[in-house]
Amino acid sequence: MSTAPAATREPYRLPPVSPARRSAKRKAAWRRRLTVLAFMSPWIVGFSVFFGYPLIDNAYLSFTHYDLLSNPVWIGLANYKYLFGGDSEVWPAVSNTLWFLGIAVPLQVLFAFGIAVMVSRARAGAGIFRTIFYLPTLAPTVAATLGFVFLFNPGTGPVNTLLSKIGITGPLWFQSPHWAKPSLTLLSLWGIGNAMVIFLAAILDVPKHLHEAAELDGAGALRRLWYVTLPTISPVILFSIVIAVIAGLQYFDQAYVASTVAPPGAAGGAGDSSVTLGYPDGSTLFYPLLLYQQGFSYFNMGYAAALSMLLLVVSLAVTLLVLRNANRWVHAQGEGR
Amino acid sequence: MRRSAAVVATVLTTLGLAACGGGSSNATGANGAPAKYDGKPVTITFWNPFTGRQLAVMNSVIADFHKLYPNITVNSRGGITDNNIVAAIRGGSPPDLTMSQSADNLGEYCGTGAWINLEPYIKRDRVNIGEEPAAVQGYTQFDGIRCALPDLADAYGLYYNKGLFARAGITSPPKTFNQLTQDAKKLTQFNPDGSIKVAGFVPTSSFYENPAAHYAPLWNAHWDQNGKSSLGTDAAWAAYMRWDRQLIDFYGASKLARFLSSAGEEFSPSNDFETGKIAMELDGEWRVQFIKSDHANIDYGTAPAPVDPSQPQLYGGGYTTGNVMGIPKGAANPAAAWLLAKYLAFNTSAMEKFANGLGNVPTIKSALSDPVLAHNPQFDTFLKIFANPHTSTDPNTAIGSANQEMLQSFQTKWEDGSVPASGLESGLKGVDSQIDAQVTNSTQGEKAP
């Protein structure tokens, strides 16, 4: 299709806009912007007050000596030097956290996925099973941890009593430096209801015709799981891994409560937790507990701020690493990949 | 514009006047001494750690104070922790008087000025600090700044089960740690399956009142020398640790851990000493009151704790610590608060009433001879321990109780055998380095220009 030469046709010109109309248009544009801003303002205020400002202030405090009682004093990189070269508690805390990330987090994802697969295949009573496996999530963290410490008490707990009836001497669980982290892992596996429900929804959302086609091609249950279900729900797996990794890096509540109540003769929920944080033998002193200990037990808030900045950077780095590697195995839907 | 300027000027003038008016009770006198209470009706707030029955006793003592100073009304609030105190001071609206259940954070309070220096008040009112035993004088100051007054203390000694002693043929409580080990072995009973039925004495540092701080005076072990942590250089620490591990090895660390896993809660009638599961324990004077309240069916005696066999002269002393009171920086009514603090800390009848009600040790010498307290022979032991010149406490530090926690962390590894016997001294030196590094980091700002 050809077009007429420009010289032969007079281009259409808009009639000149009057200054009053221009002004009205500008006002209307501003009104639109203000309306958008007004709708966004709760988020902007919340983000600035509860995230932006604390983050900037925290970054500043990490370069100061701050004991909560007197004004922060600028000390440059001293806190970071102590973090990377002087504090002998940092590496044990990091290695405890890495243990949790390497062992507990994959187990949580696998366990939640496994339960979801089983519940999705239940021919009857799926609702009941779903409820049963989700129920632990409703238990408050502190109560659940107290319950586990009681259940796994080596001397009086029902778990070791049952084990002894079949001739097994149960371990010291929360009171053994070798068993404390596995005990916490068991506790975390017990409470995977949220991840299980998300996996279940994703599994039930896998198109049936894909399974039917695979079945016609002779694929068994395992092959269908591997070649159909897993690729289809891979974005959900990625989501669960990212959430679990971040939660693992911030693991605090259960370890705090367990190390407070597990020591012999400790009061149930009370007591001087500062002396027992990380009990036994520092085996449950995860990185966030060390941060808490420095900030709120030793009133060394400047150093605690430095610890938290490192945690932020590591969390971002690990999350980015997971997301970057995800391109290899996550099948995004609707993007023609 | 002119109207705005007038409004600003009015506001500033009002604020200025308000500041002048509110400052009357904070102002210092002509000779630099703090201003005295002007006698006008005032309500002061007093935060303390007590709850339940103990708070009721405290409030009855405060009621006596109100009779003495009818224009000062005290709003007493119990259940307060150090975190509450710090938050209130940071928030700029602290109570007029606060009390902490231990002196662990006094280095922080005195060192930062969060609790005001009480020396000017003490000097002005000619308060005789010598009325307090030396150990108490020690734990109510930091680095020469006396920012706290004491109000009752705890003294630690040995509790022993007379029935179990008689059955084992032991006639008197041990005076040295060697004797304690021998007696503990005689008193220990095992079940047929080899598990512990009754433990003679449990030294595990994480159990009940067994942290190393409570043993330090009994071995004459010092926390620091020349401003540096001395756990690895003061041989007394290694001697204490070796004794500790030897007794644990007698039971077997794993067997003892299993026995302790079923230990009753310390501050309840199921306490293992009260139920007869352990024959001897190191504990504070409050256990006398607990045993009475719990109606524990136990025939027991009290004695000073055993000491290092090579230093028998230490026998009779022990560990002590106690409640400390301070006036926070920014308190609205420091003059009236000082009167209450002085009354609680130095009025003999107030001290006796409070000590009797709580079953704790008074912190002034004039109240130590109170006939009601001394009448109970089991409690009298602790009054004597408290007054003994060898009784001491751990020094206040710039890092609070972090040094104790770092030692405890190492000690639990030592006790369960994770640290080889040959690694004790080097391990203690490692803890020294850790403590010194923490002190250096925590005092960085103070060294900055």
Question: Chain B residues with CB inside 8 Å of A267's CB?
Answer: 265-267
B400 and B367 together in one domain = no
Confidence of residue A61 (pLDDT cuts 50, 70, 90): very high
Whether residues B148 and B165 share a domain: the answer is no
Distance from CA of B372 to the nearest CA of A (A): 31
Check CB contact of B432 with chain A, cutoff 8 Å: no
pLDDT at A3 over 60: no
Interface residue B414 vs chain A (CB under 8 A): no
Q: What are phi and psi of A302, to 5 degrees?
A: -60, -45
pLDDT band at B219 (very low <50, low <70, confident <90, very high): very high
**Residues whose CB falls within 8 Å of the CB of residue A135, separated by 6 or more in sequence, listed in order:** A193
Query: Any bridge partners for residue B282, and if so which?
Result: B158
Helix/strand/coil for A63: coil
Q: What percent of chain A has pLDDT over 70?
A: 93
Nearest to B171 by CA among B301, B285, B305, B273: B301
| Virtual torsion, Cα A275, A276, A277, A279, nearest 10 deg | 150
Biggest CA pair distance of chain B: 96
- Determine which of A69, A272, A301 to mutate to test the interface with B (most B C-beta atoms within 10 Å): A69
Measured CA to CA in angstroms, residue B191 lies from B196, B197, B329 at distances of 6, 6, 58
Dump pLDDT digits (tens) for B45-60. Answer: 999 999 888 899 999 9
What pLDDT sits at residue A311? 95
B368 is a domain residue: yes
Which chain B residue has its CA at the smallest distance from A301's CA?
B442
Query: Does B167 share its domain with B102?
Result: no
**B340 and B315 in one domain?**
no
Q: Is residue B25 pLDDT above 80, yes or no?
A: no
Are residues B187 and B110 part of one domain? no
Q: Which residue has the tokens 């059955």?
A: B167
If asked whether residues B419 and B282 sit together in one domain, one would say yes
Nearest chain A alpha carbon to B262: A155
- What is the CB neighbour count within 10 angstroms for residue B319? 25
Q: What is the CATH number of the domain that holds B197?
A: 3.40.190.10
Q: Which of A172, A293, A297 sits opposite B258 (nearest CB)?
A: A172
Q: Is residue B263 part of a domain?
A: yes
Same domain membership, residue B302 and residue B401: yes
In whole angstroms, how large is the CA radius of gyration of chain B?
25
User: pLDDT tens, B330-367?
Assistant: 999 999 999 999 999 999 999 999 998 888 999 998 88
* Nearest residue of chain B to residue A294 (CA atoms): B402
Rounded Cα distance between A156 and B272, Å, is 14
The stretch A233-247 carries a mean pLDDT of: 93
Q: For residue A178, what is the nearest residue in chain B, using CA coordinates?
A: B418
In the DSSP assignment, the letter for residue B388 is S
Partner-chain contact A67 B108, CB within 8 Å:
yes
* Pair B309, B203 in one domain: yes
What's the CA gap between B391 and B153, in Å, rounded? 12
Return d(Cα B395, Cα B138) in angstroms, integer: 8
| CB < 8 Å from B in window 132-161 of A | 153-156
Q: Give the residue among B38, B37, B59 at the shortest CA–CA distance from B48.
A: B59
Segment B90-129, tens digit of pLDDT: 888 899 999 998 888 898 899 888 999 999 999 999 999 9
Integer Cα distance of B419 and A66 in angstroms: 35
Q: Does B4 score more than 60 pLDDT?
A: no
Residue B314 shares a structural domain with residue B225: yes
Window 97-126 of B: residues touching A by CB (8 A cutoff) are 105, 108-109, 112-114
CA distance A236 to A242: 10
Q: Write down the pLDDT at residue A173.
A: 94
Whether residues B315 and B376 share a domain: the answer is: no
Average pLDDT, chain A: 89
Indicate if the pLDDT at residue B449 is higher than 70.
no
All structural domains of chain A: 88-326 (1.10.3720.10)
Distance in Å, alpha carbon of B134 to nearest chain A alpha carbon: 27
Is the pLDDT at B159 greater than 80, yes or no?
A: yes
Output A17 or B321, whichever has higher pLDDT.
Answer: B321
Residues B159, B119, single domain; the answer is no
In a domain, B1, yes or no: no
| Region of poorest pLDDT, from A204-218, B2-16, B204-218 | B2-16
Q: Is A275 on the interface with B (CB under 8 A)?
A: yes
DSSP string for A144-163: HHHHHHHHT-TTT-HHHHHH
To the nearest whole Å, the CA of A86 is away from the closest chain B CA by 6
CA distance A299 to chain B (A): 8
Q: How many domains does one find in chain B?
A: 2
Mean pLDDT to the nearest integer, B64-79: 96
- Cβ <8 Å between A156 and B262: yes
Assign A8 a pLDDT band (cuts: 50, 70, 90).
low
**Whether B245 and B103 share a structural domain:** no
Q: Using DSSP bridges, classify how beta strands B97-100 and B320-326 pair: parallel, antiparallel or unpaired.
A: antiparallel
Domain limits at B131?
Answer: 27-154+320-387
Q: Is the ipTM of this structure higher than 0.90?
A: no
Q: How far apart are CA B137 and CA B33, in angstroms?
A: 22
| DSSP letter assigned to residue A74 | E
A88 touching chain B per CB within 8 A = yes
pLDDT 10s digits, A66-92: 988 888 999 999 999 999 988 999 999
Strands B189-190 and B97-100: unpaired
Q: What pLDDT does residue A238 have?
A: 92
**pTM of the full structure:** 0.83
Q: How many CB pairs under 8 A join A and B?
A: 147
Please check the confidence at residue A335 and state whether its pLDDT lies above 60.
Answer: no
Would residue B33 count as lying in a domain? Answer: yes
C-beta of residue B328 within 8 angstroms of C-beta of residue B91? no
Q: Which amino acid is at B388?
A: N
pLDDT of B27 higher than 90? no
pLDDT tens, position by position, B162-183:
999 999 999 999 999 999 999 9
pLDDT, residue B370, reads 74
Indicate if the pLDDT at residue B447 is higher than 50: no
